[in-house]
Structure 1
């Protein structure tokens, strides 16, 4: 069950500012100068300040997710939800924050939040967003195709077979490719739409269930799937990840590409993996001799592999081999991942600081 609440309109103006800020916000009108004592819209720092205040207000309350003026409260049953809601309301009252009553919805079995529908079974793409993708017209040029794939990539965590299906579309976006829309592109465009349906579901993360990270690499990309292990034969996905290799990375030996897939997957899902035990699955047996936890790192490794091995030492993991035909999810993602050659984690300050600390200690 969930409750969704929204703060009143002009939520920023619920926050008072100090005298120096009030002076800086002074406005001049035909009626004179007015010193503004509350946070105003249009100030570049306002969104960050507001989010920080809301985060601190609900800090420590489980099941509460604030996003600016939108607050989601989730729980496993009505009693737990009522207790969490009461705590949130008390804190809001103490902080002087007011809610918009007609925007508050209580005890919702499914709830739509930030473009996703959340219920007891897991996380689904919102039906309206799915329909918008299904109704997208055939692109007439590279810009329109990029816009469509960008919209689709918002839900990339649900698209386990996008790598294979979207290949002709991505090839059209290559730097030197000429725009020629053929039958294979039309088929790929239709098929990639079918990948995303409102029936797609990712399971909720559960800190008590075993974690498995399945990784794989192809000549042009890397892929990873973070799963919960339910039994010896059943794994359910929490999220999918993939990206293309840069020109330099395409020249790596296969073992380096497979190792890169592991490192990229670990960095991508750092918040899930760090501080708890998990299993890495690879279809490249030689990695088992290099990335062995609690064992001295072989001195024959290249500097790059040595750095990666040291980075993995910060995690509590085991690594197992599984034949490629049994890791189809990660393999499909690696065959043609989403069009991105960024070094995963470089945009995340937490990951960057963590990586720098580990590699320089």
Structure 2
């Protein structure tokens, strides 16, 4: 992250009531079960943040530091802001000052702000250009979880909680050095951050580290200079002190918790188990002073949204934010527009069977192809040929009619739009069931589906695909299908061993 949007802040948030806690499903749960979990959560209501972006309390035992080695301070110039937006920018800065998220600064460093105009053409968003600071910052080595790993091992789960930590990065305080280096320059002055802003190079790793330690208790966070916990006069008596060794409280490790930055998923096989795990999570949130957003958190559900997916006991479903924007899109008129379309699909490509078969055709297009396809004498002819050529991408067409790649591109584009809407549910892999692999290959790509039988019907667990390398293009069909099988084993070996 180098250019990040800064959320608007309010002086306070709406008060949370017992009924605001989104628990269970009346069609599945009894009133007693819902009341049981709701009151368990309510006992820790000081952790719950209502609607709004007021600054949450600082987390314990963690700070953000920025190490730029021996780099000398660099003060970039302020960027111009159109007169009609200066009043709104002033209001945003006053809001950050009022929330004590920022303060006036005399730092020798300065990174410029960038004002982004919202779609209504009136309101604005505040961004900070940290590209220069990030280029000088030493990368923090810390493992970020793989999203696919977080969505595995859910075949026995019946109950889910999807939680969002309130104003994630803003719970992390800054060292004096980090405040100075991350200072921002605006038309109204120079300011520095009291809390960790969005856009810093190591911000995701810093926040992931505190969540990992809170959830699992074995990733140690050393006390750093500038940590308000470390400044206490009697650290041995402080409950905020981070131990040098993992604390052994006699409790079992809670493996049903998983997190990606500020998104937490809790799973359980029974209602009592989910209540127990929620209680354990709230205990560690209280210990580390981590706040939870009530509006974005769902407790004890059969199905939740997590990391852009719908997760349930049946499997994983794609959850595109704006499906109609993809399915109603006409064929792109430029290379950049095509790249934007493919980028939108990439996150959900694992739900699209034979994705590589169709996407590879679109990736090979160049700007000159779009210029030629958009010529009046070519546009309608290519569209007509694509509509009448059938579904076989490997079919031959007289080169005098049109470039074969253009025909394939239009057919592939239409096919991907057709496939993105009714994406199948990917079932959770069940070790006790026999896996079956179905492979496919053509001249330029390979594809395979890992499947398992449920009620006499084979359902997909995973799709694997890739384009062929130059030295593989001349392989026979059998050799290509073997490559497809190897691709499944490569991506799904942790399921199949």
- TM-score, normalised to structure 1, is 0.61
Q: Secondary structure at the match of 1:103?
A: coil
Q: Secondary structure at the match of 2:433?
A: coil
Q: Following superposition of structure 1 onto structure 2, how do residues 201-216 of structure 1 map, counting pairs within 5 Å?
A: 201-216=425-440
**Structure 2 CA distance for partners of 1:58 and 1:213, relative to 1, 3 Å:** farther
Tell me the distance in 1 between the aligned counterparts of 2:351 and 2:192: 50
Q: Secondary structure at the match of 2:447?
A: strand
Asked whether the equivalents of residues 125 and 197 of structure 1 are also in contact (C-alpha less than 8 Å), the reply is no
Q: Following superposition of structure 1 onto structure 2, how do residues 1-361 of structure 1 map, counting pairs within 5 Å?
A: 1-9=159-167, 11-15=168-172, 22-27=175-180, 39=196, 41-59=198-216, 60-126=253-319, 128-162=321-355, 166=358, 170=362, 173=365, 177=369, 179-180=372-373, 181=379, 182-183=382-383, 184=386, 186=410, 188-198=412-422, 200-230=424-454, 234-252=457-475, 256-273=479-496, 276=497
Asked whether the equivalents of residues 115 and 129 of structure 1 are also in contact (C-alpha less than 8 Å), the reply is no
Shift of 1:161: 4.6
Tell me the distance in 1 between the aligned counterparts of 2:443 and 2:347: 25
Tell me the distance in 1 between the aligned counterparts of 2:320 and 2:484: 32
Asked whether the equivalents of residues 352 and 423 of structure 2 are also in contact (C-alpha less than 8 Å), the reply is no
Relative to its length, the structure with more helix (as a share) is 1
Asked whether the equivalents of residues 170 and 196 of structure 2 are also in contact (C-alpha less than 8 Å), the reply is yes
Asked whether the equivalents of residues 130 and 198 of structure 1 are also in contact (C-alpha less than 8 Å), the reply is no
- TM-score, normalised to structure 2, is 0.46
Asked whether the equivalents of residues 445 and 467 of structure 2 are also in contact (C-alpha less than 8 Å), the reply is yes
Shift of 1:141: 2.1
Tell me the distance in 2 between the aligned counterparts of 1:103 and 1:138: 36
**Structure 2 CA distance for partners of 1:16 and 1:197, relative to 1, 3 Å:** same
Q: Secondary structure at the match of 2:255?
A: coil
Tell me the distance in 1 between the aligned counterparts of 2:427 and 2:201: 36
Tell me the distance in 2 between the aligned counterparts of 1:271 and 1:168: 27
Tell me the distance in 2 between the aligned counterparts of 1:135 and 1:36: 43
Tell me the distance in 1 between the aligned counterparts of 2:194 and 2:341: 44
| Residue of structure 1 in register with 2:89 after alignment | none
Q: Deviations over 1:278-298 (max 9, x none)?
A: xxxxxxxxxxxxxxxxxxxxx
Tell me the distance in 2 between the aligned counterparts of 1:238 and 1:191: 22
**Structure 2 CA distance for partners of 1:224 and 1:83, relative to 1, 3 Å:** same
Q: Secondary structure at the match of 1:72?
A: strand
Q: Deviations over 1:317-338 (max 9, x none)?
A: xxxxxxxxxxxxxxxxxxxxxx
**Structure 2 CA distance for partners of 1:248 and 1:105, relative to 1, 3 Å:** same
* RMSD between aligned residues: 3.5
Tell me the distance in 1 between the aligned counterparts of 2:197 and 2:363: 46
Shift of 1:89: 1.2
Q: Secondary structure at the match of 1:209?
A: coil
| Residue of structure 2 in register with 1:316 after alignment | none
Shift of 1:48: 1.0
**Structure 2 CA distance for partners of 1:253 and 1:108, relative to 1, 3 Å:** same
Q: What count of residue pairs does the alignment treat as equivalent?
A: 265
Asked whether the equivalents of residues 211 and 226 of structure 1 are also in contact (C-alpha less than 8 Å), the reply is yes
Q: Deviations over 1:11-52 (max 9, x none)?
A: 3343467xxxx24224389xxxx9988655443222112112
Tell me the distance in 2 between the aligned counterparts of 1:40 and 1:199: 37
| Higher Rg of the two aligned structures | 2
